[in-house]
Structure formats: structure tokens, C-alpha cells
Amino acid sequence: MNKFIVITGGTKGIGRALVLRFAEKGFDVITCARNKADLEVLKEEIEKSYNNKVHVKAADLSKREDIATFADFVLSTTPRVDVLINNTGIFLPGSIQDEPDGNLEMMMNTNLFSAYHLTRALLPSMLPHKQGHIFSMSSIAGITAYSSGGSYSITKYAMQGFTKCLREELKGEGIRVTSVLPGATFTASWEGVDLPHERFMKAEDVAESVWSAYALSDRTVVEEIVLRPQLGDI
């Protein structure tokens, strides 16, 4: 029987690269995104390429009711989650003093509360087995403040706090917890920026780093993965 991985925001960028990497390694995948058509395309692509299943559910994880619906979907698909990657996120640039009202609330709902509530909902499917791995997709902005980071950086610092607390709670439960902090990665968030592609990291490199951390023995945990473009932050 294949293991199950849950990856939120799996149709684009780093999320898509993660889905492809773990599917290639034989995992059955459960993922969500807001666009149902994109999910169906992803499902068809992977199931044609690999001998495993992809289960998809349209959901907007900035909404508490959609988090609950997606969690129910996961638990109706499998009684045991082996890996959870909280990848859903949104980036709205701006500084604290002049960013649009509501930026903080939108990004807290999407970047932090989605991970908090989904993790709480799915942990009962992991704890009895004394095994598993939870990844939080954070950002360099969660350890390095910058002037145009605004509420985005606030939410990523909060994500670091959430992940560190979770690591401490689950140490004795056999569940590994890893924070992933990528720098500028060439995804839709950077569309329109007048910089060469080569200046950015590849989403596939982030996915490979996550897989490498997972593939270690259960006796070892990578607590943080910090990744930056070779030429430094953008």
C-alpha cells in the first residue's frame, strides 16, 4: 500500500513541484487549490505518469469552513496521513505603514491559520502510528525582515513560531517537524519582475530539499531548511 501525503496549494510553483516529487517516489497524493480545473489537470498528468493516485479537492484555505471541508475529505480518503506539507500561501507586498487595510488579516488567514487548523485536524490520523513528518513552507521573510515585507513577513515569522512549538510538542510522538524557508523562487509571485530567471531558485530544488529531509531515518530530523539564490536575496 502506498503512503499518503497531503500537500496544500498543489497546482502551482513549489506546491506543484512537491506533488511531482513525492508522486515520483510512489506516494498517493491528496491536494487542494482554489481552481478545480487546475486540480483536474494535475490529477490527470500524474496518474498518467505514475502508478499512484491523486485525490483533489477545490478549497480556499483562507476560509475556516473550507479547511474543515478539506480535512474531512482527507480523512474520508485515508485513515492515516504519513506526510503533511502546509504549503498554501499568499504574498501581498507592502510596508506596514501604507499597505492596504486587510492585508494582515488575509495573509494571516491564508499563511498561518490554514496550517494551524489543518494540522490540528489531521494530527489524530498521525499520532497513533508514532511516525510521520510535517513540513511548514515558510520563507526567508520569516527570519529576515525587509522594508517591503509588511504583513507577509509578520505572517511568516508567526509561521516559524507555530512550527517551533509543534516540533517541541511532537518530539516524543515520533513525528518529525521541519520548517522550510526558501528565498526568491521562480513562481507566479514573481511574474512581471524585470529579472532573469537565472537569478531565482528553481521550485524543483526546494522540492528536492524537502524530499531529502524526509528521506532521512526516523532517528534524525532536519528542523530548518534555509535556501537562498546563489547570488543572495532579491
Condensed to tens digits (0 to 9), the pLDDT of residues 151-207 reads 999 999 999 999 999 999 999 999 999 999 999 887 766 666 767 778 899 999 999
Burial class from Cβ neighbours inside 10 Å (0-12, 13-18, 19+) for residue 214 reads buried
- The pLDDT of residue 146 is above 90: no
Please state, for a pLDDT cut of 90, what percent of the chain lies above it: 88
Q: Say whether 152 is catalytic.
A: yes
Burial class from Cβ neighbours inside 10 Å (0-12, 13-18, 19+) for residue 135 reads buried
Domains of the chain: 4-227 (3.40.50.720)
Q: In what helix (H) or strand (E) does residue 163 lie, and over which residues does it extend? A: helix 150-170
pLDDT at 233: 87
Q: For 87-119, write each residue's pLDDT tens digit.
A: 999 999 899 999 999 999 999 999 999 999 999
pLDDT at 197: 77
| pLDDT mean over 119-137 | 97
Catalytic residue among 50, 152, 157, 214: 152
| pLDDT mean over 202-224 | 97
pLDDT at 193: 73
Please state, for a pLDDT cut of 70, what percent of the chain lies above it: 97
Terminal-to-terminal C-alpha distance of the chain: 43
| pLDDT mean over 205-228 | 97
Q: Which residue has the higher pLDDT, 55 or 187?
A: 55
What is the number of helices (H) and of strands (E) in the chain? 7, 7
pTM score: 0.95
